[in-house]
Structure 1
């Protein structure tokens, strides 16, 4: 009668007294069980004395060495890809008595789940407080550096005001506080400065529009200048603006878009290469044309358009400009001041005809409906 190994049995069925196990020896140390099951004994731990008698022969035999399918032994070091096996590192238990430094640190870093939100909130508050304090300290240090400089500027301003008060004060009544100092407002000295300020205002951005002011009166410097006219350096800043406009836009062409004379002058200027290129302003296409056109007429001394200005000075009427071009002295007159360089064009660029076609479509198109 043969028996199956204990590893293939199960304990699910109840023991049956009808079948005994005659193959097991009985001794005072290892008594035989009272009952035997049809499927064998229940599984025993490895340390049990009966385990060796219940194990099958293949479980008792040692592990066979690695072999090839034909039975040849395989040596682990015979192949280049065989690496020595790494010994697994033991898992540290932080709750044992023999604790190392790493295990003790892990144990200290274990935070209960209920306390984690409070710890996160405390960390955020501490970080925010640190940033706020650091910004406050840096701001106070910066203020301590710049305050003496500002204090010196205020002191100079007080000296200027005191000097002005002393100059306008009545002799013998210097200490009277009722005396008021009248400061004259900033004004343009000539038409060239006013023209340069207007061109600076127009070329700054395309959205700059003149307000509804009286064109017959001089322009208000605070409306067209990008600096404070009341500052002590206002006159020097205005001279700088004038020199900058004369260098960037020495040649300016004013005219109306659908005026054939304006288009003829524009084509004459396009026949040569002018450096820097001329500034073309179509006065009838501006939103502030009701104020801009009379202002330009007052600054140029004539309401006849088109007009070409060289460094803020008009060169003449349309007929005079055509005569100068016919005589061949127009471009030489441009170069006489040294602000403009004129060169002949060898040939037209590839997109010149396309630009001319688009310009003709824009000019010859229907005019917008004027609002009455």
Structure 2
């Protein structure tokens, strides 16, 4: 009796063959064979779907649209110019030396920051962050008064706020100026009292204020 002939399809070879077949089918499905939705789904208005479309939809859903970039200075200006005073010293874990989320400045409000910035620039084109007892602040405010600006500069006496140290730290970080007064024109610091006097002497201050949208009833000469 002759010995049985061994089969060419050993378990190892069979397993390798199955792996090859699965890999080949997967490759053809992904790269070589176009596919379509069944007619029932195409009739439902989904015929535009494809592998590329599905991948794009999956990617777009996984990525939230980026939030518009807003300068933090406008968040601070919104907070300090509100009719009802809100302070930052009751915000837990707030580090004024680091960038602060705009929701902190908005509080309970749901703000459209683009509209809020336009409103701030129109209502308060000039903001003076001052200390009520500071001679330099008084000097700057007195000079601005000679221009009879409309709308009048919004003066924030920071020393009268309970969060004065926090405001000082934030303002210093944002404007690179840690002393008072700090004159903000449309979100940009133009300096303190000495800077204001220099701009006035060079006849540049009126131009800056008018460019910011302020109306001047005088040129600051006092004449």
Is the structural similarity TM-score above 0.5? yes
Summarize deviations over 1:254-279 as a string: whole Å, max 9, x none: 12111111000111112231111100
Q: Distance in 2 between matches of 1:269 and 1:295?
A: 24
Matched, 1:214 2:88: no
Q: Which has the higher contact order (CA 8 A, sep 6+)?
A: 2
**1:223–1:270: structure 2 CA closer, same or farther, 3 Å change rule?**
same
Question: For the Cα contact (< 8 Å) 1:215–1:294, is it kept in 2?
Answer: yes
Task: Name the residue aligned to 2:202.
Answer: 327
SS at match of 1:344: coil
Task: Name the residue aligned to 1:341.
Answer: 215
**1:266–1:338: structure 2 CA closer, same or farther, 3 Å change rule?**
closer
Question: For the Cα contact (< 8 Å) 2:137–2:181, is it kept in 1?
Answer: yes
Structure 1, unaligned runs of 5 or more: 1-161, 170-180, 229-233, 346-372
Task: Name the residue aligned to 2:69.
Answer: 189
Equivalent residue for 1:223, pick from 99, 104, 113: 104
Q: Distance in 2 between matches of 1:343 and 1:244?
A: 22
Task: Name the residue aligned to 2:26.
Answer: none
Larger radius of gyration: 1
Q: Distance in 2 between matches of 1:284 and 1:165?
A: 53
Matched, 1:205 2:80: no
Task: Name the residue aligned to 2:29.
Answer: none
Equivalent residue for 2:126, pick from 251, 256, 279: 251
Q: Distance in 2 between matches of 1:240 and 1:165?
A: 31
Task: Name the residue aligned to 2:59.
Answer: 167
Segments of 4+ in structure 1 off by > 3 A?
Answer: 162-165, 181-186
Task: Name the residue aligned to 2:191.
Answer: 316
The count of aligned residue pairs is 162
Let me know the Cα RMSD of the aligned residues.
2.8
Task: Name the residue aligned to 1:74.
Answer: none
**Matched ranges for 1:259-338 at <5 A:** 259-335=134-210, 337-338=211-212
Question: For the Cα contact (< 8 Å) 2:126–2:186, is it kept in 1?
Answer: yes
Compute the TM-score of the two structures, normalised by the length of structure 1: 0.39
Q: Distance in 1 between matches of 2:129 and 2:153?
A: 10
Summarize deviations over 1:34-82 as a string: whole Å, max 9, x none: xxxxxxxxxxxxxxxxxxxxxxxxxxxxxxxxxxxxxxxxxxxxxxxxx
